[in-house]
Amino acid sequence: QPAIDFLSKQSRHSHPPQIQGQILEMLADLAERAGDSPLALESWRQLFAKPGTVTPERAVRATVLAITHGHNQQGLAWLEQARQQ
């Protein structure tokens, strides 16, 4: 939990885009492993709201999480977003 708390705080600070993306990706991964799917999904949403952050690898990981938690449309939208980049 301390790592999630730290990354949550860091995600609210202003960082260069690449660093901010890494923070949100790490937060999503840790939250998912800790069983906090809502936080993981929200972290992916925040990350993907920024231009150029959706990669095929990220989109697949986020989509699997979204679909397994009943957010099918969100997952498919992320895959489509990755395909278009």
Per-residue pLDDT of the chain (85 residues; tens, 9 = 90+): 899 999 999 999 999 999 999 999 999 999 999 999 999 999 999 999 998 899 999 999 999 999 999 999 999 999 999 999 8
pTM score above 0.85: yes
- Spell out the alpha helix ranges (H) of 1-85: 2-11, 17-33, 37-48, 56-68, 72-84
